[in-house]
Amino acid sequence: MKIIIHRGINQIGGCITEIQSGDDRILIDLGSNLPGTEGEDFTKEQIKSMTRGVNAILFTHYHGDHIGHFADAADVPQYIGEGALAVMQVKYKTLKSPDIKQLGSMKTYSARQKMQFGCLKVTPFFCSHSAFDSYMFLIEDGQNKVLHTGDFRTHGYLGKGLDKLIPAFVGQVDALITEGTMLCRANENVPTEAELQYKAIELLSRKDKCHHFFALCSSTDIDRLATFHKACKKTGAWLVVDSYQKEVLDEFTKYAGAYSDLFVFDRFKVIGTEDFLEEILRDGFIMPIRSKQIRMMRKWRYYATDAELIYSMWKGYLTGTDKQVNPDMQKIVSVFKEEQVHYLHTSGHATVGAIRDLIEMTKPRKKIIIIHKDRNSDIGLLNLSEEDLSKVVSGFKEGENNCIEI
């Protein structure tokens, strides 16, 4: 079996991994570069030649750094989770993206549904991430067993399930391909999603202070929206959403609500008619907004003059390097006084401890391949044994033919 890391060995995002066995080839993810990434993204022609003749492309989740180039490989069978596809369709319809046509021909898989591509057997396992309906893949060819984690974390609402899932359904592997985003962010504070919920409840229950909040957050992060929704439910406040966000919440309820009450979104008001204004001003509200919605926010500030801001995104968009900062988000934050901005965020990615636990659970026999990691990452943080350390693939450069034979 050959594992080729086309991209993502020394950068966060733009992930493309190929698995080959005999004449069969599959790609895991076909991501585009995140904003601020050094170097040029692949051209359409490069993607076409990379994907030519592969049996299938399997997407772990719908973030652009994993799926961004899907429309450039229209003639290859593509697969994604059913709920993930539903959310993408809502988003692409709203954006009026021409790529929605290609989405229509995407196939879906569900958790633990075995798929066969020639001699390669692939089993998807649900995992917790800041994107809804995210998966890891177990890939087997009769000789080797490889686990590709995609993006995952264990501090989300359903993250703890991994401790049971890996021993029961995966066991020891020959190679582990894991994300390593946090290996360059070891000092970042990583609260659990449940802890964020307590903080949101605290804000909505403050005495003698306003209970009106805009929340700058991702419109497709099911855990974070569940955090705000639950906090509203527990305090009698309202989640106030626009029609696009409502459609996304409806998909969450349809697909994830069947498994957990936490993801049944049923206490919200939809912007359009504003006959609920009195009610939300009286009871309190959280209104999720996106970076381009400063005008909408200003309009609602006219009604709720005391409203404050919950900043619920990565802080690097405000204070990172020139390439990382997002001027739209900076503009929104600048509308508020310092004491009116509340930072409620946690990473969508595995902590160093979670990566170490996964290595311990899967006991890779041959290789440990860490992708989705910055080139300044510190592998030493993992505190691996000499033996495990010798299995970690290193010395690869981005943009080269990074092929690992196992």
Task: Catalog residues that contact Zn ion under the rule CB under 5 A.
Answer: 63, 65, 151
Strand bridging mode 175-179 / 145-148: parallel
- Minimum distance of Zn ion from residue 118's CB (angstroms): 27
Measured CA to CA, the distance from residue 188 to residue 185 in angstroms comes to: 6
- Minimum distance of Zn ion from residue 349's CB (angstroms): 8
> Between 37 and 402, whose beta carbon lies closer to Zn ion?
37
> Between 65 and 242, whose beta carbon lies closer to Zn ion?
65
- Minimum distance of Zn ion from residue 151's CB (angstroms): 4
> Between 151 and 251, whose beta carbon lies closer to Zn ion?
151
Measured CA to CA, the distance from residue 162 to residue 150 in angstroms comes to: 13
- Minimum distance of Zn ion from residue 116's CB (angstroms): 26
Provide CB contacts within 8 A for 369, sequence distance 6+: 3, 5, 9, 175, 176, 177, 178, 392, 393, 404
Q: What is the DSSP string of 235-303?
A: HT-EEEE-HHHHHHHHHHHHHTTTT-GGG----EEETTS-TTHHHHHHH-EEEEE-TT-HHHHHHHHHH
> Between 12 and 237, whose beta carbon lies closer to Zn ion?
12
> Between 9 and 280, whose beta carbon lies closer to Zn ion?
9
> Between 65 and 247, whose beta carbon lies closer to Zn ion?
65
- Minimum distance of Zn ion from residue 56's CB (angstroms): 20
Measured CA to CA, the distance from residue 301 to residue 308 in angstroms comes to: 9
Nearest to 240 by CA among 201, 204, 268, 212: 268
- Minimum distance of Zn ion from residue 23's CB (angstroms): 30
Provide CB contacts within 8 A for 207, sequence distance 6+: none
> Between 151 and 242, whose beta carbon lies closer to Zn ion?
151
Q: Helix 222-235 crosses helix 243-255 at what angle (to 10 degrees)?
A: 100
130 sits in the region (left: phi over 0; alpha: psi -120 to 50; else beta) called alpha
Provide CB contacts within 8 A for 203, sequence distance 6+: 211, 213, 231, 310, 342
- Minimum distance of Zn ion from residue 197's CB (angstroms): 21
> Between 141 and 151, whose beta carbon lies closer to Zn ion?
151
- Minimum distance of Zn ion from residue 291's CB (angstroms): 17
> Between 133 and 151, whose beta carbon lies closer to Zn ion?
151
- Minimum distance of Zn ion from residue 152's CB (angstroms): 9
Measured CA to CA, the distance from residue 324 to residue 79 in angstroms comes to: 30
Neighbours of 323 (CB within 10 A): 10
Measured CA to CA, the distance from residue 3 to residue 144 in angstroms comes to: 11
Measured CA to CA, the distance from residue 140 to residue 152 in angstroms comes to: 21
> Between 67 and 90, whose beta carbon lies closer to Zn ion?
67
Neighbours of 168 (CB within 10 A): 8
Q: Which residue has the tokens 């030649």?
A: 49
Measured CA to CA, the distance from residue 154 to residue 160 in angstroms comes to: 5
- Minimum distance of Zn ion from residue 372's CB (angstroms): 6
